[in-house]
Amino acid sequence: MSEACLGVIGGSGLYSAPGLENARELDVSTPFGAPSDQLVEASLAGRRMLFLPRHGRGHRLAAHEVNYRANIYALKAAGAEQVVSISAVGSLREELRPGDVVVVDQYVDLTRQRANTFFEAVGVVAHVSLAEPTDAALRLALIGAAKEAGANVHERGVYLCIEGPQFSTRAESQLYRRWELDVIGMTNLPEARLAREAELPYASLCLVTDFDCWRANEKPVEVSLVIQQLRRNAALASQIVRHLVNRLPDPRASPAWRALSAGLLTPESSIDSAARSRLGVLLDRVLGESSSRD
């Protein structure tokens, strides 16, 4: 069983992680700015864990305002070796009902104005593979943990990420159903892309809160309805994470663990000191520098 450190990104309604032991707050600075909040380093069932509220405590940041690069970089710099995203989503399928859990395996990106790579304006080019954007072993561990917590679990799904902050129009929601997508949210991209560039195995635990607005005879999604379901979902999410820590796979066995090594096009001899400084821990292992993970 791996002793790898788990990073957890808490979404809407999950701004703290109850039940943690020896918790302390970490101020982590990054070359990409400040993360959404302080990281919480703690133990859970004897395992080291890092928790970060995606929107900041008090939900201060809308999805399009989140500094995703800083969040992923901060988790990696603090020692996270795999990342689980906990996210509220709307359902685009009748069988995916509020209160259900969907462990998605694919994403479609409709965001428009988000920084979605670490590799820009640094003179370094990388093309990592995203054919399978979630980690298979981490997904299986999440599925098992969710079932152990008593959740109604759907083991696959396609997550559509929209820009927000507005919810969909009814025409958009109906279009997304015709595209055969499953759930809709505003945050998991560029998060999954950046996690892959950071060589962090990543998986999404999606908690259904509503049916978006595709049901013509039903009141469309609004914040008050989402909040009611979020309160119930937050307790379930905490139970799932508690079960998950005893099921964690070895991140070194993941294809993500060497994704940047395989995707870096710029030769080491052409990477200057400014680029090395900005990319920091992302390049440690790739360039053979000292790394606490090796």
Q: Which amino acid is at 42?
A: A
Helix, strand or coil, per DSSP, at residue 126:
strand
C-alpha to C-alpha distances, 247 to 47, 159, 293, nearest whole angstrom: 11, 24, 20
Structural contact between residues 207 and 233, judged by C-beta atoms closer than 8 angstroms: yes
* Residues sharing a CB contact under 8 Å with residue 206, sequence separation 6 or more, in sequence order: 87, 88, 89, 101, 102, 103, 104, 157, 159, 183, 185
Considering only CA atoms, which of 202, 293, 294 is closest in space to residue 254? Answer: 202
**Helix (H) or strand (E) segment spanning residue 40:** strand 39-44
Residues annotated as catalytic are 210, 212
* Separation of alpha carbons 165 and 62, rounded Å: 7
